Structure 1
């Protein structure tokens, strides 16, 4: 199975579209979301239009309740401030809203992800002499630490799904088990990882990411082959419902703007 984001998963939708739709569905029932730019922003804006019309989108730049008519180019995009219910300072976003645990969901992506949901957006290779220097942390470490729950959205492949990240930018479950509690982190950590081929969730005891769902046309073997560790698999693996016509239409309008 060679499907990857942007390639056709079926005649009707792509793997990238399935990923965005499934991530958006996960936000149903939530009231507030701290949104990262890129894949998470696409899913969060789709969710607000289809699955969670009352969802309050919060961006690191200080835009609270942003309702952009198009996908923002960055956290500094003027569209966020123009459409927000309020614009506050960055320290207020972190000190009042994020760190006390007032935000339901933090939505993140990364260059690397390991079996315990730790994220790397800092370097590939050694820190002192990296092969690639990545954009850095931004607010991701605080989002991962303090939001009530964290959703992760990444494309599935061996370069991203590694046994151990080269650098822990944002803590997921550390070394597993009770690592978060020992570190004194407020939030529950990453409760869902949505990729272009599957959905993973942490084991309730070990906290190791476990395959719980595959997208249409994907086999368990395909997901294991695209993962850089011996992936745990749930006793029963569900199959994701394909996107509806409404979900696809709204998503495509968003991405065309």
Structure 2
């Protein structure tokens, strides 16, 4: 069964949630990956949306955090202040799953403004990036997205390097993986700078470097991700068809 680069990215993003218990889900690519994960690699994954839905089980991809499908299928719906104060900022959520308009070498995120173009903004992303146990980021790889310097820092990843999260009082580990349509980047344990650790089938490191706005380093052993299975593709496509 043939697959697209986007499908390969979405499947690998879903696989990254295999061991998680709870996931705070952003809309867009993160929501696609999280809902796919709940249908494939992690059927007990609890999906949480910032509108207050806990344990949402939408039958289709939600259009926004305010989609009624989330509340209708949730185990519980709480107020937004409770969601942030009690659940998120208290460190009760394992994984935050975010997208990005721009990303720098330390996995700091911009979703506010690029040039003179205003974007949807922060929403709950700064708190998700600060307080979840870890953060996964899914974004299409391009020079426009992977930049040497952000136009605006919306959500802190690893700041300017090791120790910044602790200095800023941020609870979680921060971004642990960035999954793109070309491969997977992870922070170097020593420098916190993103390095290329895995390539998708048919992609070369040179291709990834060509669309990265800084001098991207590679891990000592770069692996190749597994191709999507027919079962994963069927579930993913069915999920999109119902949206």
Structure 1 residue ranges (4+ consecutive) displaced by more than 4 angstroms after TM superposition: none
Name the counterpart of 1:4: none
TM-score (norm 2): 0.99
Name the counterpart of 2:167: 182
Name the counterpart of 1:202: 187
Deviation at 1:193, TM superposition (A): 0.2
Residue correspondences, number: 242
Name the counterpart of 1:192: 177
SS of the equivalent of 2:234 reads helix
Name the counterpart of 2:111: 121
The correspondence of residues 235-246 of structure 1 with structure 2, limited to 5 A, is 235-246=220-231
Name the counterpart of 1:53: 43
Deviation at 1:124, TM superposition (A): 1.1
The one of 30, 38, 47 aligned to 1:40: 30
The one of 142, 149, 157 aligned to 2:127: 142
Structure 1 residue ranges without an equivalent (≥5): 1-10, 126-130
Name the counterpart of 2:236: 251
The correspondence of residues 1-257 of structure 1 with structure 2, limited to 5 A, is 12-125=2-115, 131-257=116-242
Deviation at 1:54, TM superposition (A): 0.5
Structure 2 residue ranges without an equivalent (≥5): none
Distance 1:110 1:200 in 2: 14
Residue deviations 1:64-109 (CA, integer Å, cap 9, x gap)? 0000000000000000000000000000110000001100000000
Residue deviations 1:154-205 (CA, integer Å, cap 9, x gap)? 0000000001111000000000111111111000000000000110000001
Distance 1:176 1:164 in 2: 14
SS of the equivalent of 2:218 reads strand
Distance 2:206 2:21 in 1: 36
TM-score (norm 1): 0.93
Deviation at 1:58, TM superposition (A): 0.2
